[in-house]
A and B are shown apart, each in its own frame.
Chain A
Amino acid sequence: MAEQSMPPVEPAGTGPERLRVFLVDDHAMFRAGVRAELGAHVEVVGEASTVAEAVNRIAATAPDVVLLDVHMPDGGGRAVLEAMRRSHPQVRFLALSVSDSAEDVIGLIRAGARGYVTKTISPDELAAAVRRVADGDAVFSPRLAGFVLDAFAARPDAPVADPELDQLTNREREVLRLLARGYAYKEIARELYISIKTVETHVSNVLRKLQMSNRYELSRWAADRRLV
């Protein structure tokens, strides 16, 4: 799935603000490929193939962005996120996976990833996604927006308002809907007559709400309703 919602960015400069990126993936071939493709845009400061190795090396190298595989033999991206989030809040995580099932996507976002892209993404788009995440923005694919909408959709047969669950505002839902339709942030801003920054705020709020609703197992809920 290509990440259409991101405008292409000019290759990051070679100056001192070159992004420091860390790769976590259990497939050496894939790491080599990403390193080769991203090398022009960012500085790859390290790689890890296991959860334990990742936790150690990320703490040692303190990168800006970690590209995180979701499925690994010993616990996967979620274990890394949970181990790192408290001790290193400044490190941002971008999940990079072959899976785009709702459980994986929402699970990783709820564990604290700032974005989620699939491995079919093109190198340029991946570089743009890394840049976005480093800047503090979220990277949402249309499919992820669809999952969130699905989970929050007020259905006739579902309880319409659950006070325990942070409801999305109408505006946030509108932004998600446009994202799911394949609009870029810039186009959403133009469509809704708001600024790009406001769009980014809405998207960040959606992410925050996904993480905050920890009393409510959103992913399980979605799975129970066969939204996966």
Chain B
Amino acid sequence: MAAGVAAGIAEHLGVPVVRVRVAFMVLLGLSGLGLLLYAAFWAVVPLRPGDTAAPPRRDVGQLLPFVAIGLGVLLIQVMVFDSVGAAGTAGWLVAIIAVGAGVIWHQSAPERRRQWGESMPVPWLGAVIEESDRRAFVLRFVGGGVLVAVGIIGVAAVYSPAQNLDAVVNGVIFALVGLAGVGVVAAPVLWRTWNQLRSEREGRIREQERAELAAMVHDQVLHTLALIQRNASDVKTVQRLARGQERSLRNWLYKPTASPAERFAAALEQGAAEVEDTFAITVEAVVVGDRETDERVAALVAAAREALVNAARHAGVQTVSLYAEVEPDQVSVFVRDRGTGFDPDTVEDHRHGVRGSIVGRMRRHGGRAEIRSRPGEGTEVRLILPIPRDSATAERDK
């Protein structure tokens, strides 16, 4: 069948699917009853009836809602085909009651039904609140309740001595007034419980965040502080530890994380962090813009890292500036220190650091490197990597 209703019912009740299907077919013969029932069940059977965790076992109690709904539908069908006078009205009402009760009954999960049985007055609320899809639940619940109440009042009216339409209308109005009264009484309690629940959930979320923060502080900050206490006399070590800790805390607080393997800015910052940790200096990194890495960009990052290492080794300063900018047609990196500086013309040919790792590497990948330095005025290494037009547009089209 179309909507998997038969399978759903079968799973729900723990009986073979075939039997359900046969039952539907047989009922179909009774002036289309099967079709009506099918539609009704389609409307009320939950989407995933059998919880996989709970072993399906036969529970006669679970049949009750279906029987009630079925009874209601059956009666409605009878009414449609031959409704006769007051008895017909009564039949209608009974049908309405049956459907309403069935819907209410069905909406409660088996365990909850058991809870209801254990302690009657309060768990109703509990059941209301525990329902995950609360609004839909309340809607159905109230709808079912209205159906039942209308039905009961109607029955009373039909069989009361007055036996006229006025009585029925009055009865219905009374029922509605009664329901409204119950609503007014119950609403504040419901509302309060709801609020309580919400604040509890918020509290839980906050607690979770706190726990995460506490774990982070414990794993990193406390350990770093312990290390600092032990190495208190070693200024270099203390500075290195404190700097690393500051960086990781800052990243944790302010920065969205990106993979250094994929993004240029992340790769550059990781390189700068490594140099900071290795040489116990501060790298002031400012990166404007970002892009994906490729082989050439990776080479640029490597050259920049080498320039940082040189500055850390030879400049004799505590702070090195790193500035990188990503533009549509080029990526540039500047590494600047205010250290001792040197005369680039006097660098001997056998010194490979600058020539191979920076200038040569940039040239191999289609970029260029410039080194500006004068004794006493520090050094700036400029690395420029042009991005070919087509690659730039490809990047843009992404």
* A153 CB contacts on chain B under 8 angstroms: 288-289, 325, 327
**Contact between B319 and A4, CB atoms less than 8 A apart:** yes
Q: How far is the CB of B155 from chain A (nearest CB, A)?
A: 62
**Contact between A2 and B284, CB atoms less than 8 A apart:** yes
* B368 CB contacts on chain A under 8 angstroms: none
Q: Mark B353-392, 1 if CB is under 8 A from A, else 0.
A: 0000000000000000000000000001000000000001
* A143 CB contacts on chain B under 8 angstroms: 284, 286
Q: How far is the CB of A85 from chain B (nearest CB, A)?
A: 27
**Docked complex Cα distance between A210 and B101 (Å):** 66
B287 (CB) vs chain A CBs: closest residue: A146
From known contacts A142-B286, A145-B286, A149-B325, infer whether A2 and B319 are also in contact, taking CB-CB under 8 Å.
yes
Q: Does B254 count as interface, using CB distance less than 8 angstroms?
A: yes
**Docked complex Cα distance between A156 and B290 (Å):** 12
In A85-112, the 8 Å CB interface with B consists of 99-101
Please pick, from A157, A180, A183, the residue contacting B286 in the complex, using a CB distance under 8 A: A180
* B380 CB contacts on chain A under 8 angstroms: 181
B321 (CB) vs chain A CBs: closest residue: A182
**Contact between A142 and B254, CB atoms less than 8 A apart:** no
From known contacts A2-B319, A4-B338, infer whether A180 and B288 are also in contact, taking CB-CB under 8 Å.
yes
* B256 CB contacts on chain A under 8 angstroms: 226, 228
In A145-188, the 8 Å CB interface with B consists of 145-146, 149-150, 153, 155-157, 177, 180-183
**Contact between A156 and B284, CB atoms less than 8 A apart:** no
Please pick, from B250, B288, B336, the residue contacting A146 in the complex, using a CB distance under 8 A: B288
Q: Does A1 count as interface, using CB distance less than 8 angstroms?
A: yes
**Contact between A181 and B336, CB atoms less than 8 A apart:** yes
**Contact between A181 and B287, CB atoms less than 8 A apart:** no
* B289 CB contacts on chain A under 8 angstroms: 150, 153, 155
* B288 CB contacts on chain A under 8 angstroms: 146, 149-150, 153, 180
From known contacts A150-B289, A156-B328, A181-B380, infer whether A2 and B323 are also in contact, taking CB-CB under 8 Å.
no
**Docked complex Cα distance between A153 and B286 (Å):** 14
Q: Does B334 count as interface, using CB distance less than 8 angstroms?
A: yes
Q: How far is the CB of A179 from chain B (nearest CB, A)?
A: 9
Q: Does B255 count as interface, using CB distance less than 8 angstroms?
A: yes
* B255 CB contacts on chain A under 8 angstroms: 228
Q: Does B396 count as interface, using CB distance less than 8 angstroms?
A: yes
Q: How far is the CB of A2 from chain B (nearest CB, A)?
A: 5
Please pick, from B250, B254, B323, B328, the residue contacting A181 in the complex, using a CB distance under 8 A: B323
**Secondary structure dominating the interface of A:** loop
Q: Mark B240-259, 1 if CB is under 8 A from A, else 0.
A: 00000000001001111000
User: How many residues on A have C-beta within 8 angstroms of the other chain's C-beta atoms?
Assistant: 23
In B315-341, the 8 Å CB interface with A consists of 319, 321, 323, 325, 327-328, 334, 336, 338
* B287 CB contacts on chain A under 8 angstroms: 146
A157 (CB) vs chain B CBs: closest residue: B396
User: How many residues on B have C-beta within 8 angstroms of the other chain's C-beta atoms?
Assistant: 24
From known contacts A101-B254, A182-B336, infer whether A1 and B325 are also in contact, taking CB-CB under 8 Å.
no
Q: How far is the CB of B394 from chain A (nearest CB, A)?
A: 11
**Docked complex Cα distance between A6 and B319 (Å):** 14
Query: Of A100, A142, A157, which is in contact with the most chain B CB atoms at under 10 Å from its CB?
Result: A142
Q: Mark A1-41, 1 if CB is under 8 A from B, else 0.
A: 11010000000000000000000000000000000000000
* A180 CB contacts on chain B under 8 angstroms: 286, 288, 323, 325
* B336 CB contacts on chain A under 8 angstroms: 181-183
**Docked complex Cα distance between A177 and B289 (Å):** 13
In B257-313, the 8 Å CB interface with A consists of 282, 284, 286-289
**Docked complex Cα distance between A143 and B288 (Å):** 10
* A157 CB contacts on chain B under 8 angstroms: 396
**Docked complex Cα distance between A99 and B255 (Å):** 12
In A65-86, the 8 Å CB interface with B consists of none
**Docked complex Cα distance between A155 and B327 (Å):** 8
**Docked complex Cα distance between A129 and B288 (Å):** 25
Q: How far is the CB of A86 from chain B (nearest CB, A)?
A: 31
**Docked complex Cα distance between A2 and B317 (Å):** 12
**Contact between B284 and A1, CB atoms less than 8 A apart:** yes
**Contact between B254 and A182, CB atoms less than 8 A apart:** no
**Docked complex Cα distance between A12 and B173 (Å):** 89
Interface residues of A (CB under 8 A from B): 1-2, 4, 99-101, 142-143, 145-146, 149-150, 153, 155-157, 177, 180-183, 226, 228
Which 8 residue pairs across A and B have the least CB separation, nearest first? A182-B321, A146-B286, A156-B396, A182-B336, A181-B323, A101-B254, A181-B334, A150-B288
Further 14 A-B residue pairs, CB within 8 A, beyond A143-B284, A177-B323, A181-B321: A4-B319, A142-B284, A145-B286, A146-B288, A149-B325, A153-B289, A153-B327, A157-B396, A180-B325, A182-B284, A182-B321, A182-B334, A182-B338, A228-B254
Interface residues of B (CB under 8 A from A): 250, 253-256, 282, 284, 286-289, 319, 321, 323, 325, 327-328, 334, 336, 338, 380, 392, 395-396
Chain A to chain B contacts (Cβ below 8 Å), 14 pairs: A1-B282, A4-B284, A142-B284, A143-B286, A146-B286, A146-B323, A153-B289, A156-B328, A177-B323, A177-B325, A181-B323, A181-B334, A181-B380, A182-B336
